[in-house]
Amino acid sequence: MKLIEKIKESTAFIRTKTKVTPQVGLILGSGLGVLAEEIENAVKIPYGDIPHFPVSTVAGHKGQLVIGDLSGKKVIAMQGRFHFYEGYDLKDVTFPVRVMKALGVKQIIVTNAAGGVNTSFEPGDLMIIEDHINLMFRNPLIGPNEEAFGVRFPDMSEAYSKHLIQKAKEVGDKLKINLKQGRYMGLTGPTYETPSEVKMIRQLGADAVGMSTVPEVIVARHASMEVLGISCITNMAAGILPKPLSHDEVIETTNLVQEKFLSLIRQIVEEIE
């Protein structure tokens, strides 16, 4: 079945569960899924129920769509996302972004847990993503282009909306949340980086490193959605501190920053036009 047909079937199924037209899409990274609990009048649809949806496998990822009201806006959240390292094709990783677009989403807020590469960062910092570097050496748009979705050669000169970056900064100032800003580099994982790789990543100009986000943002831009990216710096990348990295540390840090993260996103959603 063609991708466009699959999207139609998924969308039609979701519409049998709710008539809401979401304006803002939220992709919630490792440990950040709690934001979905804030959504009111929520309709929750487990990924496994939706035709053609992949199913999430990582601990700390719940695996459902949550559709409802947040800060006075209609939103749809992915509580748990799909990663390339789980073995999915990038077409599957980004499928929910296509479905969000089909449901009416205009702006998408993509969040993730990331390692801090910039040594002025600290675990617990939130970073506005100003741009990304795709070091996955793969692209979800490889293959025949579906003209109904977007152009063959999408412009990526403003992958992350300047307007939304400005908005996020204003909200940070207003709420007195210290926000960093920087470039995110996406690798496939699932290994964390070696210290030498982290040095290379820094030399290539990135401030944070992670295993997600890039594919979803590419597809969102292909579909002409506006993107805001927020990284939670959960740990310093390998080799910066004399200790090993672990997923437990990642989840621990996201728990510590939860309140800050929630108030930031709630306020951004409120102020987004």
Nearer to ligand HPA, 25 or 115 (CB): 115
Q: Does 193 bind ligand HPA (CB under 6 A)?
A: yes
Establish if 264 lies at the interface with ligand HPA (CB under 6 A). no
Comparison of 114 and 136: residue with beta carbon closer to ligand HPA:
114
Smallest gap from Cβ 83 to ligand HPA, in A, equals 10
Q: Does 111 bind ligand HPA (CB under 6 A)?
A: no
Which residue lies nearer to ligand HPA by CB, 102 or 127?
127
Residue range at the interface with ligand HPA (CB under 6 A); choices 89-97, 152-160, 231-239, 262-270: 231-239
250 lies in the site for ligand HPA, by CB under 6 A: yes
Among 249, 250, 262, smallest CA distance to 114 is for 250
Q: Name which of 53 and 121 has its Cβ closer to ligand HPA.
A: 121
Nearest CB to ligand HPA, comparing residues 22 and 80: 80
Segment interacting with ligand HPA (CB under 6 A) among 38-46, 206-214, 254-262, 265-273: 206-214
The span of 46-54, 109-117, 129-137, 213-221 binding ligand HPA (CB under 6 A) equals 109-117
What residue type is 205 in one-letter code?
G
Instruction: Measure the CA–CA gap between 212 and 51, rounded to whole angstroms.
Output: 23
Q: What length is written for the chain?
A: 273
What would the 3-class secondary structure string for 215-271 be?
Answer: HHHHHHHHCCCEEEEEEEEEEECCCCCCCCCCHHHHHHHHHHHHHHHHHHHHHHHHH
Closer CB to ligand HPA, 68 or 229, in the complex = 229
* Residue at shortest CB range from ligand HPA: 115
**Could you tell me if 116 and 202 are in contact, meaning their C-beta atoms sit under 8 angstroms apart?**
no
How many Cα atoms within 13 Å fall on the side-chain side of residue 29?
28
Q: What's the min distance (Å) between Cβ of 246 and ligand HPA?
A: 10
Contacting ligand HPA (CB under 6 A), which of 115, 140, 172, 215? 115
∠ CA(217), CA(91), CA(37), 5° rounding? 60
The residues of the shown chain that bind ligand HPA, judged by CB under 6 A, are 113-115, 192-193, 209-211, 234-235, 237, 245, 250
